[in-house]
Structure 1
Amino acid sequence: MSRMIVYVTLPAAIIVNLSDLRIQNQLLLFIVVALIWSIFQVLLAYFTTFKQENKQKATMMYLGSGFNIGNFLLPFIQNIQPAFVPMISMFDIGNSIMLTGGTQAVVDTLVATNQRFSFRNMLRQLLSSIPFMCYLIMFGLRYFQVSLPSFIHTFFVPLANANVFLSMFMIGLYLDFSLPKGGFKALVKLFSLRYLVGFLLIFVIHILPISMAEKMVISLLCVSPIPLFGVMNAVIVGAKEEYVGFASSLSFLFSLVFMTLIILVMN
């Protein structure tokens, strides 16, 4: 099912949602914000685990950074506030760059792990990522104001609509709530990094002179769950699979509740 989402319904949703996108400088800033924000998350995770072993540092840096957009935030917002999709999509371009190699580069610079950053591998992952390539192609088309033929748009609409159901179904299917012994303290620190810091950022954002739509999008990003790449990299550096699975599952539930509250309050 995850392959169906990554290779079929998510790319279809990207194509449909960006088919009428108007490229503005304001939207391009979301790519830069994603890069800076992700680096900030990694550095914050590093300094909060400064006295711990390298494995704990790397685990916190991977799980405490990044945004689960394609499999969670995009399906969540797709039918609720479709006007927000262009901003989220631009943000996900920067987010994808960090998840597929940028975060690893920062982690490898600060912590000695059994991974080694390779720009070639990062580029290969980006170019082999169908969702990222869809973002890139649609961005290029819309930058030059090229529209897709109507029959192509019509073909992808049913697949795009299926993305919401399949993504939420997959999240429920893979929920795992078995926390290994000794993992509670690390979990509290991880969720403090992701959510307490997230809510502090939401407070700061609401003081800034930006539009309400931008405030809501950034607020939703502040409480997004742990991304899949973060889970994979944490396991690679030696984190317990049970702990990573529990943290990931619980973050889905927390994010679902927090995002719903944000939509209700700010709407």
Structure 2
Amino acid sequence: MEAIIVKAAGFLLIIALGFILKSVGLFRAEDSRVLANLVLKITLPMSIIHNFATLTLSKTHLVPIGLGFLTNFAVIGLVLLLTRKMNGARRAFFLINCAGYNLGLCVLPYLQSFFDAEAVAIICMFDVSNAMMCFGGTFTIAMTVAKGRGQMDKKEIVRTLFSSMPFVTYLLMIVMAGLHLRFPEPVYTVAGMIGEANAFLAMFLIGLLFEPKIRRSEAKDMISVISVRLIAGIAFALIIYFCLPLPLLYRQVLALVVFGPILSVAPVYTERCGYNRSVAAVLNSFMLPFSLLIITILMMVMHI
């Protein structure tokens, strides 16, 4: 329990630091664009490359990879159904913030202290497909919805998909892993050095984007996002744990990761889709400790 308190408090402290430094004038809200590019185009891709240094794909990994896709598509379908009468920007906000899980920055490091290497590999494989959806598929769907039906042709959809550096990096690393290809070892070492900055920069970025002044309608949207994520997480966890014919370890780990928090760069994607980025930043800062608390309670229930 002490580990989760320290880690969650550390994340919140970094978020608070970004907000405080913006408030005193050392940083400006406009600086978030530079920081967002740094995270999305440099530190996050380097972190992804480093994570593949010790990973090898096998048939046993197909289940968590498949579940990563299925859970994301299920939530996307649900959100598209529930928000069909909303305007494009608002629908895009729900898509970006309801679907997907932020596993690499907080869930994976936290669960590593409770599970062995096999369980960590399961989490990483789930995150492969999850991240491809978060950084590519979901964002592309959200942009299409935000721009309106018929305003994005196939070429623009493909361009949007492959303009996501994290998505391209994941795709490259999966192809290399499938072909049993590797970069020279120094590449992974340097990528790890750069990628270590990702957690701090991503949390600091949320602090820069954090603006507590939101409208009542936006507060209702936040509550709706939390409700959708919680209900979906409960449904996925029950199906995974009680219905899937998988080893106990797989069922335990996968039932936990579906309660992961919102993607750390969701505020950036939210702004690009035309919705108030501050709402996503406030929502993100709340969901981090809330998600880790739920995961800890579940581990106690499962006697992990």
TM-score under structure 1 length normalisation: 0.74
Instruction: Note the 1:78-157 alignment, pairs <5 A.
Output: 83=117, 84-100=119-135, 102-103=137-138, 113=148, 116-157=151-192
Instruction: Note the 1:115-264 alignment, pairs <5 A.
Output: 116-168=151-203, 170-171=205-206, 174-207=209-242, 208-227=244-263, 231-232=267-268, 234-236=270-272, 238-262=274-298
Structure 1 residues 220, 170: CA separation in 2 closer, same or farther (over 3 Å shift)? Answer: farther
Q: 1:39 aligns with which of 73, 76, 99?
A: 73
Shift of 1:6: 3.5
- What's the C-alpha RMSD, in Å, of the aligned pairs? 3.8
**Structure 2 segments unaligned to the other structure (5+ residues):** 1-34
Q: Distance in 2 between matches of 1:151 and 1:55?
A: 43
Partner SS, residue 210 of structure 1:
coil
Structure 1 residues 81, 242: CA separation in 2 closer, same or farther (over 3 Å shift)? Answer: same
Q: Distance in 2 between matches of 1:62 and 1:245?
A: 12
Deviations along 1:123-149, one digit per CA (max 9) or x if unpaired, are 334444443333333323332333443
Structure 1 residues 125, 113: CA separation in 2 closer, same or farther (over 3 Å shift)? Answer: closer
Deviations along 1:230-258, one digit per CA (max 9) or x if unpaired, are 54554455534443332233223322333
Q: Distance in 1 between matches of 2:207 and 2:140?
A: 32
Does structure 2 conserve the Cα–Cα contact (< 8 Å) formed by 1:42 and 1:107? no
Shift of 1:191: 0.9
TM-score under structure 2 length normalisation: 0.67
Number of residues paired by the alignment? 267
Q: 2:50 aligns with which of 8, 16, 39?
A: 16
Partner SS, residue 19 of structure 1:
helix
Does structure 1 conserve the Cα–Cα contact (< 8 Å) formed by 2:206 and 2:281? no
| One-letter amino acid of the structure 2 residue matched with residue 181 of structure 1 | R
Structure 1 residues 175, 217: CA separation in 2 closer, same or farther (over 3 Å shift)? Answer: farther
Q: Distance in 1 between matches of 2:62 and 2:229?
A: 25
Structure 1 residues 116, 147: CA separation in 2 closer, same or farther (over 3 Å shift)? Answer: same
Does structure 1 conserve the Cα–Cα contact (< 8 Å) formed by 2:88 and 2:147? yes
Percent of residue pairs bearing the same amino acid type = 26
Shift of 1:210: 1.8
